């Protein structure tokens, strides 16, 4: 039995479909089953919350493999999940981390992921670490300013990165969960096309047939304020500001060939992701 956390999220939605298609026995840890209504019917639902450790034992009963994804900052969710996994005798964890753990020095965003990796290593359960770079779905963070005035705030200017489609991360996770040979491996995952924010926005504009303006922000902090109009925990705001600053400095764009090597095909393109998500940008008021 495979237990999937984060099943209603960007990666988890795709992963449950991949595992369903492979015929795997699977269970989804969900806080609200209504949010999982469109996920494969065949998958069991277990109601639980990583923030409430007492809810986890029933969800982990009989589980031998775990896809672990924790949102936000800190390590409490990871510690709770790994304690439940140890108690249940889980044999393999596929853990969603971040490519930031490979940086020297590790930026704040990567430090939480690094600490989570250490908790899992210390448990002794065999693990596969998935360490992706920036997701294509981060473009959905631009919807509020597109809705407000048809523009995108660009905090990274000449900085380039190789965004990855969460569907590709899910495909790698599904492989690691269902085939032998992926334990004790670390996979750094990126797309294989390099973009500035302005180049990404141009592709969205071409896809929807409407020009979206790009406005460079004076400071990365300004972009963070737009992303969290109702405020964000200071530690998270600082970490994202630091992330934007690192992206601005990288004008080449960091990328790996890991997705292609593991899946035997090229990573999905940003144009493909835009085509699948065009409605959100065409009608941002409904997104
Ligand atoms: N975005 C990037 O560029 C990037 C890059 C590298 C790494 N990452 C990492 O990727 C992860 C996010 O992946 P994603 O985009 O697929 O996630 P996402 O779309 O933000 O979804 C988060 C998932 O976590 C679930 N969740 C939240 N709090 C929970 C709790 N207390 N108990 C149980 N489940 C809970 C949510 O369920 P509900 O339906 O109940 O809300 C949802 O399924 C984070 O660890 C992030 O640091 C992101």
For 44-103, how does the pLDDT look when each residue is reduced to its tens digit (9 = 90+)? Answer: 999 999 999 999 999 999 999 999 999 988 999 999 999 999 999 999 999 999 999 999
CA 194 to chain centre: 18
Q: How many angstroms does the Cα of residue 140 sit away from the middle of ligand 1?
A: 14
Ligand 1 atom closest to Cα of 32?
A: 40
Closest residue to atom 8 of ligand 1, CA basis: 98
Q: For the whole prediction, is pTM greater than 0.75? A: yes
Close Cβ partners of 192 (under 8 Å, ≥ 6 residues apart): 162, 255, 257, 259, 260, 266, 267
Mean pLDDT, residues 120-131 taken together: 98
For each of the domains in the chain, give its residue range(s) and CATH number, in order of start: 2-133+164-190+255-268 (3.40.50.720)
For residue 236, the model assigns a pLDDT of 87
Distances from the Cα of 43 to the Cα of 13, 91, 119, angstroms: 12, 20, 28
Ligand 1 atom closest to Cα of 52?
A: 31
pLDDT tens per residue, range 216-261: 998 877 878 777 878 888 888 898 899 999 999 999 899 999 999 9
| Half-sphere exposure at residue 243, Cβ-oriented, CA atoms within 13 angstroms | 19
Q: Is 287 a residue whose pLDDT tops 70?
A: no
């Amino acid at each position: 039995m495979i237990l999937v956390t984060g099943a209603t999220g960007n990666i988890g939605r795709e992963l449950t479909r991949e595992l369903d298609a492979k015929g795997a026995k699977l269970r989804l840890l969900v806080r609200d089953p209504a949010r999982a209504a469109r996920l494969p019917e065949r998958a069991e639902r277990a109601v639980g919350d990583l923030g409430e450790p007492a809810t986890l034992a029933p969800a982990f009963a009989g589980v031998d493999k775990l896809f672990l994804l924790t949102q936000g900052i800190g390590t409490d969710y990871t510690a709770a999940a790994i304690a439940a996994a140890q108690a249940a005798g889980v044999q393999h964890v596929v853990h969603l981390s971040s490519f930031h753990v490979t940086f020297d020095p590790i930026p704040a965003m990567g430090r939480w992921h690094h600490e989570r990796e250490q908790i899992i290593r210390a448990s002794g359960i065999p693990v596969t670490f998935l360490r992706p770079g920036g997701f294509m779905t981060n473009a959905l963070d631009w919807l509020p300013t597109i809705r407000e005035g048809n523009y995108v705030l660009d905090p990274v200017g000449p900085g380039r990165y190789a965004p990855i489609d969460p569907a590709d991360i899910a495909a790698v996770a599904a492989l690691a969960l269902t085939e032998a040979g992926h334990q004790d491996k670390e996979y750094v995952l990126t797309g294989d096309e390099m973009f500035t924010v302005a180049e990404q926005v141009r592709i969205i504009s071409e896809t929807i047939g409407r020009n979206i303006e790009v406005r460079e922000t004076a400071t990365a902090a300004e972009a963070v304020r737009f992303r969290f109009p109702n405020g964000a925990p200071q530690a998270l705001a600082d970490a994202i500001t630091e992330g934007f600053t690192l992206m601005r400095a990288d004008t080449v764009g960091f990328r790996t060939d890991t997705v292609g090597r593991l899946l035997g095909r090229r990573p999905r393109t940003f144009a493909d992701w835009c085509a699948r998500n065009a409605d959100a940008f065409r009608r941002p008021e409904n997104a």
